Amino acid sequence: MKINNSRMSAIISRVNLNYLTLLLIMIILVAVMSMRAPYFLSAANFAVMVDTFIMEAIMALGMTLVILSGGIDLTVTGILPFSSIMLALLMGSGMSFFPAAIIVVLGCSLIGFVTNLLRKTLNLHPMVVTMAIAAILKGLNLTITGGSAMSDFPDSFKAMSSMTVFGMPLSWAVYIVLAAFFIIMTKFNRNFIKVYFVGGNPEAAKLSGIKIERVYMMVYMISAALAAVAGILTAITYSSASYSYGTNADMRVITTVAIGGTSLTHGGSGSIVGTMLGTLFMAVIYDAFIMSGLSTYYQDVMTGVFLIAAVLLSEFFRYLKEKAR
Amino acid sequence: MSVLELRNITKSFGANKVLTDVNMKFEEGEIHSIIGENGAGKSTLMKIIGGIYRADSGEVILDGKDVVMHSPIEAYEHGIGIVHQELSIVGNMTVAQNVFVNCEPVYKAGFINWKKMNSEAKAALAEVGADIDPEEIAGNLSVGMQQIVEIAKVIAKKVRILILDEPTSALSDKEVDRLFQILDDLRRKGVSIIFISHKLNEIIRISDKVSVLRDGIRTGTLLRDEMNEPTIIKMMVGRDLGRLYPPRASSRDGEIVLECKGLSLRNKFSNIDFFLKKGEILGVFGLVGAGRTEVALSVFGADNLDSGKVLLNGKSVSFKNPSDAVSHGVCYLSEDRKVAGLFVNMEVRENVVSACLKTVCNKADFLNQGAIGKITQDYINELDVHPSNCSRFRIRNLSGGNQQKILFAKWLAAKPTVLIVDEPTRGVDVGAKSMIHSILRNLAESGMAIMMISSELPEILGVSDRVMVMSEGRKTADFEAEGLTEETVMNAVFNTDGGLR
Amino acid sequence: MIRKLWIILTVLIALSVPLFAGGAEESQTGNGGSTVKGDELYSMVVFTKGAEYFNWCYAGMRDAAAILGDHVKTELQGPAEWDASLEARTLEQVIVKQPKGILVAAADETTLNSSIGKALSQNIAVIGFDSDAPESGRLSYVGTNNYDFGAAAAQFIVDQIGGSGDVAVVIVPGNIAQEERAAGFKDWISENAPDVRVVSELNDEGDVAKSETVCAALFQANPNIKGIFSTHGYGAPGAAAAARTLGILDDVVIVGSDYSSAVIELLIAGDIEGSVVDDPYLIGFESMMLAYQAAHPTSVPSANPPFGHVPPIIYGGCSVITGEILSDPAVLAKYQNPPAV
Amino acid sequence: MKSGRFRFKIGNRELTLIITIVLIYLFMCFAKGELFYARSNIEAIFSNLSYDLLLACGMTFVIILGGVDLSVGAVLALSGIIATLMAQSGIPTAIAVLAALAFGLAVGCLNGILIAKVHVAPFVATLGSMSICRGMCYVLTSGYFVANLPTSYLNIARGSILFSVPNKILISVIIMIVLAVLSVNFRPLKSMYYVGANGRAAFLSGISSDLVKIIGYGISGLMAGIAAVLMTGSLGMGHASYGLSFEMKAISAAVIGGANMAGGEGSFLGTALGVILVALVNNVFIMFNGSPNWSGAISGIMLIVAVAIDMIRNKIRERRTA
């Protein structure tokens, strides 16, 4: 009994209050919603809810790494449509799916590489560089497509939109694999743990022999590659490619990561699991407004309120912890 | 054959020649100390060995081979490890992660073996005599503890050449003893150790050889039996310093300016009483973490007080923020000049007036650039800051000792009546140190009340008129400085009946 | 302690969720939230929610629903951003609510195809309006022929500038409706007005202030500019502001698209000469009627069983409104009071 | 007075920008002649950069403080809507204008309080208020224009009290010049640099860093409020979509002008030059009939180009001195 008790308290002491609170708010939200909207707790709605936010969820994984390293990446809003358009171009010219997808992902991580190179050589804040690159990509996307949607895909590709893996839609499976990969890597892989060091204290990391520029390069390339994956999945889901995809996705993704407890002030604190919780939270909010029939105008207002509230709460817990010491 | 040899190393930053034709040899299994005034080029030399800078000319010869290193990583690969003066601890990671940063023990598949990492970290910490939980978040540790983790981190890398750049500045004497034991062990195992410190007694105690740098030139190397303080000091500054410490207060009957009664702050300190008299220096001694800085910050209004009274000139005051305190003539010179003292990317002149902006403004609140220039130049001359035309230099381009002088200038420009100085000579060489000591004395003689917080016992004994000892958040003793011995003070430190924590 | 309390609270509330869900059956809220038995929900899904045009459409839909009966509920959904994939997601969320019918204005021609297909397969009637997705299988499309819309603008502008001079087009690239309007505009001019040249296409990002910027620069770059046509509702006010700043309001003919309180005010003041309009209210109204028709099949044989018979396409006309037309109070009243949404 | 109380130092970055602007200007004068250098064209360029100038000013404050303010665009839209709704419903113009300014100031100060007192990351705090303000715009208007404004309101922006220069140009240029001059020597503004360079040190030096931060963000919000009045007045209507992505333009301009996102560095003259450069290039772009697809990317491209030119100039100068 006594052993059990101490194990219990060990578990309790390891619970992250931020995550718990997030969970609490989410559960309350779900409770209220299920009262207002009978469909809310249905399996169909769950599926749609996940679908609604799956692209942001994938990009949020990469964004978490970027923010952990102390940076930020606004290019995702340009890369997502760019990758879908590139895929359409390549497959339209007769290439089959896998080589085309691989080229697109590699090509987009090259954009991440260039972004990071510009950041480094021009000594600019990542926000500024990524903002500029995003604007340039938008121009490129418009020029390539001429503004109209591209749907020049072979039928085999179109069939992929209803493909399932273990009974799950393709995008879910991709997300689960990626999320598991990043959870494991950030816990056990040296290169990924370096991201925390670099975000926590770049100078110290440098003195400890970490090649910090290489870490920055890695996170921006990963973030770009994940945005490319999201773009490819979007193209698969809708059998189309358009410059309009991913509009404002950068802000949604950053909001997700911030709500998930990854700190934009103190680099190096946060986790993939937190981001996944944040993702779920955002998915619930985005779904709840449509399901409840409340005006979606309030959706922006509420996202803003929850974002600030979540960060306030985590600062509050940080304060409590400090006070207790 | 020497393990490491430096031949004709020359290095300039712009027009400023930092090292000129420096030759040095480091042998296996010896502790070779390097000493010199600030700006003498010690840190630059170490950074060249550590691969952070490259020499303009000259060779770094490792095991008889000329090597060129481009980064700290390459230095590590050559078996050279540096314990830096600035801590390289990452606060949000665990102690174990910090110890094994970049060389985590892994399974065959490349995944980190957490269990092994924690147990090895525990062992590495035990080796340096510290009982720290490897799973603790490093940021939660005190500065002294972090310094120990830092040392453990480098030693755990099994280096052949170990460079320690002022490793003892944040350590208590007990921790220093322990560190020296470790260095002794390492020496016996054949590691060559390069030790940089400003503390002459430490250098003499541990070194096999000591090399002295002055203005980027090696002025000589002494063997163990040739070492003594006067000789070393003479080689460093090129002159006899005469007395190491300034005379004590000429008059002890100034009125009480600041009096504190029963100051308490939860988890930080409790029931602290002290007073400051005009013309006196009160030395506050304690180990790192004794709560000295916290008391100072609370008096200064930068932190809260749970209870207690602060009387300034007999009137009860409670400063809501530092700006309040400064306008009442109470100033606090912080221990960490880079984080809490200076604006390193701003100009010297801007730094000097940063605490007295209101006084250099006209009625419409516009800064008077002429006055700023004059004040700055006056203090540069008075405090002998080098170079003397540095008024428009950025702080980051000055050496540590000169930065510290600018920090003093900044607070002197605020015309304090009560000056609290926190570790005023941390990371400052002997020459600058004695200068700062005499500045403090002159200020006291001119009628200022000074409280000096320090972890260097000789400094406390040499400079203060009265001494207050703190330990674990409590005041444990009050002494008159005249005739006080180190033993008495240390006894007071350890004679506590159960601290706060 | 706080930790423990928090954990207990979370668990308690988590356990109580099913209780809430149980109570859902009896609850009842209006405006498309949850519905009681016998209620029918019709949803309108658009790509830039908050655009005045769609508000008019929705007003028409709502009035049609009121005529059809109290049990017919409506809602307006859609992302504020112009993002076809976001609109598709919103559509999928709407499908979960199992409405009887959905009215869709498609952000582009193909992205919504699979979502529309999904709705149809669940026996939800889908009517396209304003912006069509022709290959999606939607039962019917109600809207305007945007090519003709542009041609009408061209005809008006050529008339106003006296058959010769330079003109320019303001457009947000990537919007099919606008691209078609621009194409119709340019084609009509090249076929019918040899002395008129389209010298420039401008992107104002659908933003009035940006429109002012680009138009001001255009007037400078081409002093001979006689007319300007905005393919969307925000361009004309911006162009008018630019012309006002430069003092050339009387020298250029500004023709806008759609109507809004801002456009009406400028038309009456004479700052802009005309605006090409279709009837969004009527489009919304008719779409709603068609959706209801499709959702309630009659004995009339249908081309799309199990849905009721609806015509594949209904094109409404478009016309040019001017300050003169609006001087008739009866006409003005129609435009002046935007419906509350 | 003598030793340059108003010493106006032109930094390297400013010089780079001035050279670039002059080169572009000369080039355009040759290429397009009268069309380009006509007073009306210069007026057109300036009339359109007046909002950008104001927002970029506010943003410069915030960047000097080491932060960023994403909410300015949304605050502009919402203040504009508040002012126009009030003016439309017959409330006196002065009160409507004051309400807009007060609202901008209030949102800015709230941002500042969140950032200074509660230590929320500036990006997150202002992203939150951006969402809230933008959402409120639509809640208040449902996306409708707010038109039919009284002439007295419109004339604030459209009228002209000096040299027949439109007020909106006059107001924004005057604010800009005042700030540029004040930032050199005016103590409350100068303390921003201290706080941005090292907040802890500034606090311990007796500068009320929290207050300074709150004021800085407050000014940024206030600038958005002023820009809102000018924009709604000039265009004659308020709308929820005003100011979309203006924050990005403002940040670009400030960074082009030499502001450092790490804090402590930035100049109002540089920011003004940055705004002018982007506006000039926009004008050039349209003069040469550039593809509309790329007009949105101009400020991003100019940012990279300007910073790169500056970097190359610095390299060349270093080599020359070495």
The correct answer on CATH 3.40.50.300 for the domain covering B243-329+416-501 is yes
> Beta partners for B272?
B263
Q: Residue ranges of the domains in chain B?
A: 4-237, 243-329+416-501, 344-408
> Which DSSP symbol is given to C232?
S
Q: Could you read off the pLDDT of B444-469 as tens digits, one per residue?
A: 988 899 999 987 778 888 889 999 99
According to the model, what pLDDT value does residue A4 have? 55
Q: Which residue has the tokens 């490792």?
A: B62
Once rounded to an integer, what is the mean pLDDT over residues B33-51? 80
Q: What residues have CB less than 8 Å from A138, skipping those under 6 apart?
A: A78, A243, D296, D297
Neighbours of B266 (CB within 10 A): 11
Please state, in angstroms and rounded to a whole number, the distance separating the CA atoms of residues A263 and A18: 12
ipTM value of the model? 0.84
> Which DSSP symbol is given to B293?
H
In a domain, D4, yes or no: no
Interface residue of A187, A194, A195, A207 to substitute, partner B, most B CBs within 10 Å: A207
Q: Could you read off the pLDDT of C235-255 as tens digits, one per residue?
A: 898 899 888 888 888 889 999
**pLDDT level of residue C5 (50, 70, 90 thresholds):** confident
| C108 part of contact set with chain A, CB < 8 Å | yes
Q: Nearest Cα to B488, choosing from B463, B457, B459, B452?
A: B457
Please state, in angstroms and rounded to a whole number, the distance separating the CA atoms of residues C108 and B432: 74
Max Cα distance, chain B (Å): 74
Instruction: For residue D201, give the nearest of B323, B340, B357 by CB distance.
Output: B340
- pLDDT tens across the length of chain D (322 residues): 333 344 556 677 888 889 889 998 888 888 877 777 777 778 778 877 888 999 999 999 999 999 999 999 999 999 999 999 999 888 888 999 999 999 999 999 999 999 998 888 899 999 999 999 998 998 888 888 888 888 888 888 887 777 777 888 888 889 999 988 888 888 888 889 999 988 888 888 888 889 999 999 999 999 999 999 999 998 888 888 888 888 988 999 999 998 888 888 888 999 999 999 998 888 888 888 777 778 778 888 888 988 888 888 888 887 877 6
Q: Cβ–Cβ of D206/B327 closer than 8 Å?
A: yes
- Measured at the CA of A215, the angle between CA A214 and CA A219, to 5 degrees, comes to 120
Instruction: Please return the burial class of B159, using the count of CB atoms within 10 Å of its CB with bins 0-12, 13-18 and 19+.
Output: buried
Q: Which residues of D touch C (CB under 8 A)?
A: 32, 35-36, 38, 40-41, 43-45, 47-48, 51, 134, 138, 142-148, 158, 166, 231, 234-237, 239-244, 279, 282-283, 285-287, 289, 292-293, 295-296
What is the CA D276 to chain-centroid distance, rounded? 11
Which amino acid, A301? Answer: V
What is the CA B363 to chain-centroid distance, rounded? 40
Q: Residue ranges of the domains in chain A?
A: 22-30+39-324
Q: From the CA of D306, how many Å to the nearest CA of chain A?
A: 10
Q: From the CA of B97, how many Å to the nearest CA of chain D?
A: 26
| Runs of H (alpha helix) within chain C | 2-22, 52-68, 84-96, 113-121, 146-160, 176-192, 208-221, 235-246, 261-269, 280-295, 323-326, 329-336
Please state, in angstroms and rounded to a whole number, the distance separating the CA atoms of residues D66 and A84: 36
Q: What residues have CB less than 8 Å from B84, skipping those under 6 apart?
A: A207, B150, B165
Instruction: For residue C111, give the nearest of A146, A242, A287 by CB distance.
Output: A242
pTM of the full structure = 0.87
> Which DSSP symbol is given to B392?
G
Instruction: Please return the burial class of B137, using the count of CB atoms within 10 Å of its CB with bins 0-12, 13-18 and 19+.
Output: middle
Nearest CA in chain D to C238: D235
| C201 part of contact set with chain D, CB < 8 Å | yes
Q: D175: domain CATH number? A: 1.10.3470
Please state, in angstroms and rounded to a whole number, the distance separating the CA atoms of residues C102 and C119: 8
**pLDDT level of residue A214 (50, 70, 90 thresholds):** very high
Please state, in angstroms and rounded to a whole number, the distance separating the CA atoms of residues C132 and C130: 6
Q: Could you read off the pLDDT of C113-170 as tens digits, one per residue?
A: 889 999 999 999 999 998 888 888 899 999 888 899 999 999 999 988 888 889 999 9
Q: Could you read off the pLDDT of B180-193 as tens digits, one per residue?
A: 888 888 888 888 99
Interface residue of B78, B93, B117, B137 to substitute, partner A, most A CBs within 10 Å: B93
Neighbours of B90 (CB within 10 A): 27
Q: Cβ–Cβ of A304/D130 closer than 8 Å?
A: yes
Cα separations (Å) of B46 from B69, B82, D131, D221?
13, 8, 52, 49
What values do phi and psi take at A313, rounded to 5?
A: -60, -45
Interface residue of A296, A298, A319 to substitute, partner C, most C CBs within 10 Å: A296
Cis peptide before C311 (omega within 30 of 0): no
Please state, in angstroms and rounded to a whole number, the distance separating the CA atoms of residues A191 and A218: 9
According to the model, what pLDDT value does residue B500 have? 36
Cis peptide before C306 (omega within 30 of 0): yes
Residues of B in contact with A204 (CB under 8 A): 86-90
Cβ contact B–D (≥3 pairs, < 8 Å): yes
| A303 part of contact set with chain D, CB < 8 Å | yes
Q: From the CA of B128, how many Å to the nearest CA of chain A?
A: 19
Residue A119 has pLDDT above 90, yes or no: yes
| D206 part of contact set with chain B, CB < 8 Å | yes
How many domains does chain D fold into?
A: 1
Strand C101-104 versus strand C125-129 pairing type: parallel
B4-237: CATH number: 3.40.50.300
Interface residue of A308, A314, A320 to substitute, partner D, most D CBs within 10 Å: A308
Asked if residues B372 and B459 have their Cβ atoms less than 8 Å apart, the reply is no
| A123 part of contact set with chain D, CB < 8 Å | yes
Q: Nearest Cα to B212, choosing from B44, B24, B403, B85?
A: B24
Instruction: Please return the burial class of C284, using the count of CB atoms within 10 Å of its CB with bins 0-12, 13-18 and 19+.
Output: buried
Q: Cβ–Cβ of A302/D299 closer than 8 Å?
A: no
According to the model, what pLDDT value does residue D1 have? 33
Would you say the CATH fold of B243-329+416-501 matches that of B4-237?
yes
The two tokens of residue D112 are 């500042």
SS3 D260: coil
Asked if residues B462 and B302 have their Cβ atoms less than 8 Å apart, the reply is no
According to the model, what pLDDT value does residue D76 have? 95
D114 is in which domain, residue-wise? 48-306
Q: Cβ–Cβ of D145/C262 closer than 8 Å?
A: yes
Asked if residues D127 and A251 have their Cβ atoms less than 8 Å apart, the reply is yes
What is the CA B355 to chain-centroid distance, rounded? 22
Q: Which value, in Å, is the radius of gyration of the alpha carbons in chain A?
A: 21
Instruction: For residue A12, give the nearest of C7, C86, C173 by CB distance.
Output: C7
Q: Nearest Cα to B129, choosing from B203, B163, B88, B180?
A: B180
Which amino acid, D7? Answer: R
Please, what is the angle between helix C208-221 and helix C235-246, to 10°? 50
Asked if residues B422 and B296 have their Cβ atoms less than 8 Å apart, the reply is yes
Q: Enumerate residues 240 to 279 of chain C having a beta carbon within 8 A of any beta carbon in chain D.
A: 240-242, 244-247, 260-262, 264-266
Instruction: For residue D121, give the nearest of A121, A142, A265 by CB distance.
Output: A265
Residues of B in contact with D264 (CB under 8 A): 343, 345-346
Please state, in angstroms and rounded to a whole number, the distance separating the CA atoms of residues B49 and B165: 12
N residues, chain D: 322
Cβ contact C–B (≥3 pairs, < 8 Å): no
Instruction: Please return the burial class of D23, using the count of CB atoms within 10 Å of its CB with bins 0-12, 13-18 and 19+.
Output: exposed
Interface residue of D244, D304, D309, D314 to substitute, partner A, most A CBs within 10 Å: D304
Q: From the CA of D208, how many Å to the nearest CA of chain C?
A: 34
CB pairs under 8 A between B and D: 86
Nearest CA in chain B to D209: B323
Q: Residue ranges of the domains in chain C?
A: 31-138+280-310, 146-278+320-336
Q: Could you read off the pLDDT of B400-429 as tens digits, one per residue?
A: 778 888 898 999 888 889 999 998 887 676
| C127 part of contact set with chain D, CB < 8 Å | no
Please state, in angstroms and rounded to a whole number, the distance separating the CA atoms of residues C286 and C56: 13
> Which DSSP symbol is given to A206?
H
Please state, in angstroms and rounded to a whole number, the distance separating the CA atoms of residues B120 and B127: 10
In a domain, D31, yes or no: no
**pLDDT level of residue C2 (50, 70, 90 thresholds):** low
Q: From the CA of D226, how many Å to the nearest CA of chain C?
A: 15
Nearest CA in chain D to C206: D241
Asked if residues B55 and B19 have their Cβ atoms less than 8 Å apart, the reply is yes
The two tokens of residue C142 are 């109600």
CB pairs under 8 A between A and B: 70
Q: Could you read off the pLDDT of B270-302 as tens digits, one per residue?
A: 889 999 998 899 999 887 667 888 899 999 888
Range A22-30+39-324: architecture per CATH:
Orthogonal Bundle (1.10)
Q: Nearest Cα to B167, choosing from B177, B158, B176?
A: B176
| C234 part of contact set with chain D, CB < 8 Å | yes
Please state, in angstroms and rounded to a whole number, the distance separating the CA atoms of residues B477 and B286: 11
| B367 part of contact set with chain D, CB < 8 Å | yes
The correct answer on CATH 3.40.50.2300 for the domain covering C146-278+320-336 is yes
May I ask the CATH class of domain C31-138+280-310?
Answer: alpha beta
Would you say the CATH fold of C146-278+320-336 matches that of C31-138+280-310?
yes
Nearest CA in chain A to D299: A132
